[in-house]
Amino acid sequence: MNSTTVYETVNNTYSLIASNAEAGKAEEGKNSQIASSFGYSAEELASLPSGTNLGLSCGNPLATANLKPDETLVDLGSGGGLDCLVAARQMLKADSSPSGKVFGIDRSETMVALAQRNAGKANLPDGLVQFIQAPISEIPLQSSTVDLIVSNCVINLVPDEDKPIVFKEMHRLLKPGGRVAVSDLLAKTQMPDHIRQDAALLCGCLAGASLVEEYQRWFEEAGFQKESIVFVNTEKDLNVYQELAGRDGCCAVEPEPVACATEKKSAGCCSKDTQPKSCGADKPQSGGKVDFNEWVASYQIYAVK
């Protein structure tokens, strides 16, 4: 898959997930179970408006990030606002009028609209949380202004050639001494082509997963000191998505092939009832039968600038 196809497939898929949540179709119970299995507390989850936790996470980057109420946090790939709203609650717990700021960055316009709606329902002080539509490889915030960067199951969705740029963006944004706390799926081994090219497994956060050595190299190339970079394999069971919600990883809908989405705009192709052959032909091959634990592991990744 070339990088344009990766961006379009990921964006179409996550925008559809956001639209479904906006329409009240998020499966709250299953999504809570998924988030609990990655370490969110019942109290954290209960504090979120419905449609915020979409069951798309693969860790809890804030669990050990020691966020302070006067800090500036950026969440890369903020989805429905899960970690931004949890961060805001943590700040408010420590200080009823925190001076810090939480920014959520997401490339999907629909996802940003959903996160804004959720933040509006969360009873937060004005201006504490702000969502920005942008790719995480080009973040419209000033250099050296951020204390903490978090991300939850997103960097794997960036095309390989742009991943090093994401690490450079993290380094650019952080103040000296600023820190990174990322949850992501990392590959246990090089994956075969039939997996790497599978759209469902890409959107499910498996097919785009990189090796620990690659993340280590990209951190160092971006300017992070080798000694400050730590990888922790959380050994979480990654078949929870399949077992609890019957789906491919963090992807809550089947990705629509890009060619099909384009055709649909012009010729009404690929409605739910009639699937023309031209669209079905490049349907994802995984069929939901891949053992995630065989190929990837959930990591907590830390670094300091």
Q: Which residues bind ligand SAM (CB under 6 A)?
A: 10, 14, 54, 56-57, 77-80, 82, 105-108, 111, 135-136, 152-154, 157-158, 205, 250
Q: How many CA atoms lie within 13 A of 28 on its CB side?
A: 11
* Residues paired with 302 in a beta bridge: 181, 230
- The CA-atom distances, in angstroms, between 72 and each of 43, 145, 178 are 23, 7, 10
Nearer to ligand SAM by C-beta: 135 or 284?
135
Please state, in angstroms and rounded to a whole number, the distance separating the CA atoms of residues 200 and 282: 11
Query: 105 vs 119, which CB is nearer to ligand SAM?
Result: 105
Closest approach, Cβ 169 to ligand SAM, in A, equals 10
Q: Minimum distance from CB of 269 to ligand SAM (Å)?
A: 24
- Beta carbon of residue 111, minimum distance to ligand SAM (angstroms, whole number): 4
Q: Tell me whether residue 59 or residue 178 sits nearer to ligand SAM (CB atom).
A: 59
With CB atoms as reference, the residue minimizing the distance to ligand SAM is 79
Q: How far is the CB of 150 from ligand SAM (least distance, A)?
A: 9
Smallest gap from residue 75 Cβ to ligand SAM (A)? 7
What's the chain's length in residues?
305
Q: Which is nearer to ligand SAM, 80 or 257 (CB)?
A: 80
- Which CB sits closer to ligand SAM, 253 or 279? 253
The alpha carbon of 38 is separated from its chain's Cα centroid by a whole number of angstroms, namely 14
* Angle between helices 258-267 and 3-22 in degrees, nearest 10: 70
Closest distance to ligand SAM from the beta carbon of 208 (Å): 9
Structure tokens at 271: 């409605």
Q: Which is nearer to ligand SAM, 182 or 279 (CB)?
A: 182
Q: Is 133 helix (H, G, I), strand (E, B) or coil?
A: strand
Retrieve residue 31's tokens.
């999504």
Strands 174-187 and 72-76: unpaired
Residue 227: CB atoms within 10 A of its CB come to 7
Closest distance of CB 112 from ligand SAM, Å: 9
Nearer residue to ligand SAM within complex by CB, 63 or 269 = 63
Contact 85, 47 (CB under 8 A): yes
Measured from the Cβ of residue 299, the count of other Cβ atoms closer than 10 Å reads 23
At 290, list the tokens: 């891949």
